[in-house]
Amino acid sequence: MNLETLMQKHQKSLSELDWAILGYVLENEQEIMQLSIVELGEKVHSSKSSILRLTKKLGFSGYSEFKYFMRQAKQNNIGTTETDLIDLQTKDIENTVKLAQQTDFTSLSRAIQNASTVYCYATGYSQRKVIEEFSKMLMICDKRSIIIPVKTELDISMSMITKEDIVLFVSLSGETDDVKENILSLNARQIPVAAITAFSHNFFAEHAQYAYFYYSTPFTVSGKEHIAQSLVGLSVLVDLIYRKYVTYLNKQFEEER
């Protein structure tokens, strides 16, 4: 288990300050090994007691046990930066599945079953291709699903979406600014929202009743300025969500026989 998995497991109990501290830890893992709890507090402009409370929220007895966990996790990941791209792909898939194994899909499956319509919106072209396949598969289960292709149509659709529906947002960052207002509006109207994003503390997940995460590790391409990023983890997660939904339906069918 790594720190990101612990953060996902305990996300509901973590405060904004906790996320800020953990963000610093993730970006400065090597430095953390050398810092005392007081020194870390100075780095993140927080108190010793705040850091101690955070480590206990994550399940550790204290800061020393937390540092030991970080040291062991780092040793297990030695050579990660030197692995080839195939290994990187494998890790994204494995980490996505491991995280899913610790996540409850029952509530989302129930919400999809009870929904009159499942509205699906993706913030990018690649994400939309994945969710389009999910929408087609839902139709096999006799579930009405509508893909909203662009932001303009999302705005137009807002007045048609009701509490009897559910809206599924798919994103990489979960921080697309022009969609945040739509999510807040849905929240205000108590319309169920589900978010599927790359693993992070993000706006979409924070304002969704159902939040699910996948891994997508960026990598560089020689001679190119841009960073490449695969969405294979997203495809795996969406397929898992669909399979969990079918399993939920099959179980209900058997119980009603």
Tell me which range, 56-65, 85-94, 103-112, is most confidently predicted by mean pLDDT: 103-112
Spatial separation of the C-alpha atoms in residues 101 and 202, rounded to whole Å: 21
Residue 156 and residue 69: Cα distance in Å, rounded? 49
pLDDT classification of 77: cutoffs 50, 70, 90: low
Amino acid 82: pLDDT: 47
Distance CA 239, CA 233 (A): 10
Asked if the model's pLDDT at residue 179 lies above 50, the reply is yes
105 close to 133: Cβ distance less than 8 angstroms: no
Average pLDDT, the chain: 89
Q: What is the pLDDT of residue 80?
A: 44
On the question of pLDDT at 35 being above 70, the answer is yes
Q: Determine the 3-state secondary structure of 77 from DSSP.
A: coil
Q: Mind listing the pLDDT tens digit for each residue in 195-219?
A: 999 988 889 999 999 999 999 887 7
Burial 120-140 (b: 16+ CB within 10 A, else e): bbbbeeebbebbeebbebbee
Q: 85-256, superfamily in CATH?
A: Glucose-6-phosphate isomerase like protein; domain 1 (3.40.50.10490)
The CATH number corresponding to 3-76 among 3.30.70.1150, 3.40.50.300, 1.10.10.10, 3.40.50.11540 equals 1.10.10.10
Fold agreement between 3-76 and 85-256:
no
Enumerate the domain spans of the chain: 3-76, 85-256
